[in-house]
Structure 1
Amino acid sequence: MEKLCFIILSIFTLCSVAPVAATARMLYVNDTGIPVTQVYKYACHPQRFKDLGLNIEHFTYCDKSLSYEVRAKDIIDRLSLEEKVEQLGNRASGVPRIGLPAYDWWSEALHGVSDVGTNTTFFNDNIPGATSFPTPITLAASFNKSLWKAVGQAVSTEARAMNNFGQSGKSFWSPNINVVRDPRWGRALETPGEDPFVVGTYASNYVRGLQDVEGTENTTDLNSRPLKVASCCKHYAAYDVDNWYGVVRETFDAEVREQDMIETFVRPFEMCVKDGDVSSVMCSYNRINGIPACADHRLLHDTIRGEWDLHGYIVSDCDSIDVMVNRHHFLNDAPEDAMAQVLKAGLDLDCGEYYTKYGANAVNQGKVREADIDKVLKNLYIVLFRLGHFDGSPQFEKLGKDDICSQSHIDLAIEAASEGVVLLKNDNNTLPLDAQKVKKVAVVGPHANATKVMIGNYAGIPCKYTTPLDAFRQAYGNDNVYYAPGCPDVACRDYSLVFPAVQASKKADAVIIVAGIDTSVEAESLDRENLLLPGYQYELIDQISRQSTTPIILVILSAGGVDISIAKNNSRVSAILWAGYPGEKGGQGIADVIHGKYNAAGRLPLTWFENDYVNQIPMTSMPLRPVKELNYPGRTYKFYSGSTVYPFGHGLSYTTFKHSVVTTTRSLSIKLNKFQFCRDLNYTDGAKAPACPGVLIDDINSDNLNIEFEVKVANVGERDSSESLLIYWVPPQAIVDAPIKQLVAFEKVFVPAGESVKAKFNLNAGKNLGLIDYKGYNILASGEHTIVIGENDASFPLHIEIEEYVFNQED
């Protein structure tokens, strides 16, 4: 028989006593102690008010006929100053006297519902796990926009199901969309790579997957658009140093030129807000040109809320205000001064305690207006209304345990792992393995039986791991798989384990070495010192290659690139694959690619540098372009011209594609009027500048400056396969500081063997071909541009001519 009782689980305050950090929610509970049915699924439930001794008719904020803005104002107007500030931390206390429930804003869902955050209850017997998809760096390697959205949809479904049991919130501070400027950055696994356009496209698609409620995507009033869950793009901005030789994120001052800010550091966030309609942005710990990011009025108020028109709230990285006061010592502010500064800068929510502790004092001391607090509360409550926090979300309330770790989500996790695998080397078509020739395999290396390594960080408890060893045993049978780790862990300092791995390799028809790094090498608060494999991993690979006569396949688990030049140049290492951190089903994904069940189609989302790169430039140097005075090389594929282990966008296939381009646009002509002026660009010495070098894009109407073309992809091999079409723009030669090339579009297409498909692209010169000059202007340049498909698989020239207006006597 079911009993009615109170359980402390987190979200709703149901009693009239002062709330505590974890607040009470009433559930029906069966005799086993497992929650069965929630009594109150939303705050404005009539019975809930009755049990609180309140008449719901007296509270306008529960009137569904009114707008969210009017209802939010009703809440705010009922609160005292002290009560208002109590709602401004990540653990909003609620106000029982007016029926306002408590709410904890902090949950995480980077690549699955995580147990990180104060509002995600640790998994228990009721819900023991959730699907853990590949980390973003691996998902990015798929270059598959529909996959990114599908993963977001699956994650938000599981989040809503967990929320129905009180084990998850409805607001998630994910994804991380910082650009990987330096290969040593420890948080590369959390990001979609080094290209701002890819990062922004990933962000907008993943956010759409998390947030969009089917049928309401095109709601005209975005402040009333329903949310499945509330997402957050972080960490804004110019954040990509965690802990490098004592330089830590909490005190780092990123000295950044406006040129780099516009084209690299803020572009993904702009795309996330404008294209993804994200409901939150998180500001970072670091300073930018001396100003803490969370205190920068121009970056927060003027840009995010003003220029980009954010429909949601801005939140600090946790304890950022405390960091500003006690680590940055910014302006030597007292706590109340700091609280007032960040509030005025545009910060709505404090992940921390500064707003709740010092907010009332700041108002009473005249340092900030109470009306300013009212504004940020309105931003917060409108998001909660959109989440159904007050009125419920009937379409999600039936989600239950069957919607978590469902077979469709497990299959999606396998697909995502397979799509994220990048084939780096495949001599003599060693892969896929020939089932007629390969009956026994050796599976060796520190990651051969990886579990937690595969899910990286910001992960919860997976439904069930499939390690590489598991997958190969399933394929060949236990007796035909010879396993020896070769290393006790990723540090690989025990050379005595190399010999058993070599002996295992001699028994097999093929050897799979699963090596790489993990979060003991690259992680939040831990940047890398080099780009090498740790310990004796190179020796393990070398000894097996010397003594084994069978094909050797090297699989690397990592986020950042690893200098594996030795293996790349070793003719005995037949094939190399990179799998990133492939999620709970990563072993199955890797095995499916090696066996040809899935044809490799991934592409590297970041450049793999040679290890000497770390000796050429300090991690703290922020410019993307080369610094000639200091002999610093450029960063990322856009500005680095030196040799690499593998370039951005590299990836092989088991089939052969031929590409051709059909376009009717080979030139664009722009005639300026008397209100438009030519803009100068810097050219290399000896280069002849056009009569009109360029025009400010904001000064022209670029609606008719479209470049339409089709790419025909013919699969002339023997295997069906997907192809990742990467479209680059190469600016006119001799323009100083222009990128070497820049990705402007990409598409995933499936092409059966012996057939061809056509992919249509429509670029816009104003939107896609702009050069950010050193002054921060966005300029369309005259001259010979080039559109390149892939690694020079096909290309076509594009001539842009800008004609200066000639004044006549009548003017």
Structure 2
Amino acid sequence: MCSYNSVNGVPSCANQDFLNKTARQQCGFNGYIASDCDAVGNVFNDHKYTKTPEETVAAVLNAGMDVNCGSFLSQYTNSAVMQNRVSVDQIDRALHNLFSTRMRLGLFDRNPKDLLLYGRIPPNEVCSQEHQNLALEAARKGIVLLKNDHKLLPLSKNKSMSLAVIGPNGNNANVLQGSYFGPACNPVEIFKVMQSYVGYVSFLEGCVDGVNCTSATIDEALNFAQNSDQVVLVMGLSQSQEREEVDRVHLELPGEQELLITNVAKASKKPVILVLVCGGPVDITFAKSDRNIGSILWAGYPGEAGGLALAEIIFGEHNPGGKLPMTWYPKDYIKVAMTDMNMRADTSREYPGRTYRFYEGPTVFNFGDGLSYSRYAYEFTSTTPTMVNLTQLSTVKTSMGFDSVNYMSVDDIEGETCEKAKFSVTVGVQNSLEMDGTHPVLLFMKPTERKDNGYPVKQLVGFQTVNLKAGEREEVVFELNPCHHLSTANKDGLMVIEEGTKDLVVGNTEHIVNIGF
């Protein structure tokens, strides 16, 4: 599918390099290419890339697009043919790509609803127990524990305990779904799930207009907090703040959410638990350093089973193991120009870079952060090499960078040669506490010395998930391909393998590998 964006001034649906050269020639794609809905109209109306509708039809068909989601082609293709801008052969090609794909799927053999395995799926199968279990598993694994001072979590299940759930996302099952979702199977609000764990649960939205929170009902919230044994604040964002065609203009929590959180935390009998329901990062530096906020959970948009998964984690029925999929930047990061697509930091113009691989400024949380109720220890085993000798690549010409370091261009190395140069990294992982856990093991590579050569601060080269019982140890093996995992893009955009030492990093454990030619 080609979408609404343009790259280097060319709208995606009119970009022959992407649709034809990359997708079809390089990747061997033999299906049909469809536009996002009304993306063809955008080429003409919004990008102003073409002067007439007929010229637009020619541009997208010449680029390799086959199917238009929308009415633009149905309105203007005939006139484009009449003006000799589009040939019948081009239309035949688009139809061939569409119908040959549908034929391969068997859609013309007989009634598709009778033919296909997924042609008739009744609601009871959609909402089967197996599917609901899968939704719960996905929610459990996606929730990230970001702070847990003094082991506040998990809470004890206590029928004599009173719990206050405060926040605009605490009693809203829809917000947990995120964007673009169908009818959910038995969605339950966080507040309602909590009622099965403790004796008394009260709920207060805390904001007069949902997550926008232009006005917080702080006095009422303080009363709830002071009269409860424990407080769970369920804050964050919703589709009113972040969705298709709606972008945030800041990285802070909306409105008076921060004011509500800090006041409730200060008034509560015990440190509070902060749950954030949101897709993108938010700057909650204030919460990280607030002693009255004992635990922070990021739920993302966890889906129909998100309320149950959160309750299971809060009350210790599930050990959290999720990791952040993105860096959380401080609020000042919005000063970086949205149109500046440079990845690498540039101190000469105070540009901090983008993504965990190149960003060199302060962070709220980092890509890959995530705590657990267990403690995991790592060690690189003796079978992990300290020297990776790539002499088998010696037929490849080496070059010298401006920093006098030899390197090989990956483009000059044959794929079979790269396969022969593979090596294994073995990491021992031990669950050293008394709770079973599921734990993602993230293997990073970083240079032993930071140089001004444009190479990443670090980069993820592999990850595996292990299920460890309390006290159990297991070894995980990463197969590394030098061309894929030891290469980096230099300042000229070439993927190169550089001679010298690299650090392999898991958690706080490092292993130095020397790469020689």
TM-score by structure 1 length? 0.60
Q: Is the 8 A contact 2:160 2:198 kept in 1?
A: no
- C-alpha change, 1:775 and 1:483, in structure 2 (3 Å) is same
Q: Is the 8 A contact 2:228 2:269 kept in 1?
A: no
| Equivalent position of 1:718 in the other structure | 434
| Equivalent position of 1:442 in the other structure | 164
How does 1:702-741 map onto structure 2 within 5 Å? 702-731=418-447, 733=449, 734=451, 736-741=453-458
How does 1:411-560 map onto structure 2 within 5 Å? 411-435=133-157, 439-477=161-199, 480-488=200-208, 489-495=210-216, 497-560=217-280
- C-alpha change, 1:398 and 1:336, in structure 2 (3 Å) is closer
CA distance in 1, matches of 2:314, 2:118: 39
Please identify, of 398-407 and 519-528, the stretch whose mean Cα deviation from structure 2 is larger. 398-407
| Equivalent position of 1:659 in the other structure | 378
Q: Is the 8 A contact 1:508 1:550 kept in 2?
A: no
| Equivalent position of 1:637 in the other structure | 356
Q: Secondary structure at the match of 2:206?
A: coil
CA distance in 2, matches of 1:316, 1:679: 43
The answer as to 2:514 corresponding to 1:799 is yes
How far the C-alpha of 1:675 sits from its partner, in A, is 6.3
- C-alpha change, 1:798 and 1:437, in structure 2 (3 Å) is farther
How does 1:115-126 map onto structure 2 within 5 Å? none
Q: CA deviation digits over 1:118-160, x for unaligned, max 9?
A: xxxxxxxxxxxxxxxxxxxxxxxxxxxxxxxxxxxxxxxxxxx
- C-alpha change, 1:760 and 1:371, in structure 2 (3 Å) is same
The answer as to 2:509 corresponding to 1:786 is no
| Equivalent position of 2:342 in the other structure | 623
How far the C-alpha of 1:556 sits from its partner, in A, is 0.6
Q: Is the 8 A contact 2:445 2:504 kept in 1?
A: yes
CA distance in 2, matches of 1:649, 1:664: 23
Please identify, of 456-465 and 740-749, the stretch whose mean Cα deviation from structure 2 is larger. 456-465
Which amino acid is 2:407 matched to? P
- C-alpha change, 1:291 and 1:548, in structure 2 (3 Å) is same
| Equivalent position of 2:11 in the other structure | 292
- C-alpha change, 1:596 and 1:311, in structure 2 (3 Å) is farther
- Number of aligned residues: 508
Q: CA deviation digits over 1:54-99, x for unaligned, max 9?
A: xxxxxxxxxxxxxxxxxxxxxxxxxxxxxxxxxxxxxxxxxxxxxx
Which amino acid is 1:720 matched to? D
Q: CA deviation digits over 1:667-703, x for unaligned, max 9?
A: 22234889632234343xxxxx23x333334334212
Q: CA deviation digits over 1:555-594, x for unaligned, max 9?
A: 0111111111111111111111110111122111111110
| Equivalent position of 1:94 in the other structure | none
Which amino acid is 1:601 matched to? G
Which amino acid is 1:491 matched to? N
Q: Secondary structure at the match of 1:464?
A: coil
CA distance in 2, matches of 1:673, 1:752: 43
Q: CA deviation digits over 1:511-545, x for unaligned, max 9?
A: 10101111211121121111111122112111122
CA distance in 2, matches of 1:725, 1:375: 47
Q: Is the 8 A contact 1:486 1:499 kept in 2?
A: no
Q: Specify every segment of 5 or more residues in structure 1 that has no aligned partner in the other structure, as ranges.
A: 1-281, 684-688, 803-811
Q: Is the 8 A contact 2:4 2:39 kept in 1?
A: yes
How far the C-alpha of 1:333 sits from its partner, in A, is 2.9
- C-alpha change, 1:682 and 1:375, in structure 2 (3 Å) is farther
How does 1:274-313 map onto structure 2 within 5 Å? 282-313=1-32
Which amino acid is 1:434 matched to? S
How far the C-alpha of 1:666 sits from its partner, in A, is 2.4
CA distance in 1, matches of 2:368, 2:323: 5
The answer as to 2:493 corresponding to 1:776 is yes
Which amino acid is 1:314 matched to? I
Which amino acid is 2:176 matched to? M
How does 1:292-441 map onto structure 2 within 5 Å? 292-330=11-49, 332-391=50-109, 392=112, 393-397=115-119, 399-435=121-157, 439-441=161-163
- C-alpha change, 1:399 and 1:453, in structure 2 (3 Å) is closer
CA distance in 1, matches of 2:79, 2:120: 45
How far the C-alpha of 1:643 sits from its partner, in A, is 1.4
How far the C-alpha of 1:398 sits from its partner, in A, is 6.0
2:294 aligned to 559, 566, 574, which one?
574
TM-score by structure 2 length? 0.93
Task: Output the aligned Cα RMSD.
Answer: 2.0
- C-alpha change, 1:335 and 1:397, in structure 2 (3 Å) is closer
How far the C-alpha of 1:550 sits from its partner, in A, is 2.0
Please identify, of 593-602 and 335-344, the stretch whose mean Cα deviation from structure 2 is larger. 335-344
- C-alpha change, 1:543 and 1:397, in structure 2 (3 Å) is closer
Please identify, of 412-421 and 746-755, the stretch whose mean Cα deviation from structure 2 is larger. 412-421
- C-alpha change, 1:732 and 1:376, in structure 2 (3 Å) is farther
| Equivalent position of 1:110 in the other structure | none
Q: CA deviation digits over 1:377-427, x for unaligned, max 9?
A: 122112212333112435445643321111221222122112111100001
The answer as to 2:464 corresponding to 1:747 is yes
Q: Is the 8 A contact 1:698 1:778 kept in 2?
A: no
Please identify, of 622-631 and 777-786, the stretch whose mean Cα deviation from structure 2 is larger. 622-631
How far the C-alpha of 1:725 sits from its partner, in A, is 0.7
CA distance in 2, matches of 1:664, 1:504: 56
What is the identity percentage for the equivalent residue pairs of Structure 1 and Structure 2?
36
| Equivalent position of 1:205 in the other structure | none
Q: Specify every segment of 5 or more residues in structure 2 that has no aligned partner in the other structure, as ranges.
A: none
How far the C-alpha of 1:438 sits from its partner, in A, is 7.0
- C-alpha change, 1:444 and 1:354, in structure 2 (3 Å) is same
Q: Is the 8 A contact 1:670 1:801 kept in 2?
A: yes
How far the C-alpha of 1:732 sits from its partner, in A, is 5.7
- C-alpha change, 1:446 and 1:399, in structure 2 (3 Å) is closer
Q: Is the 8 A contact 2:427 2:475 kept in 1?
A: yes
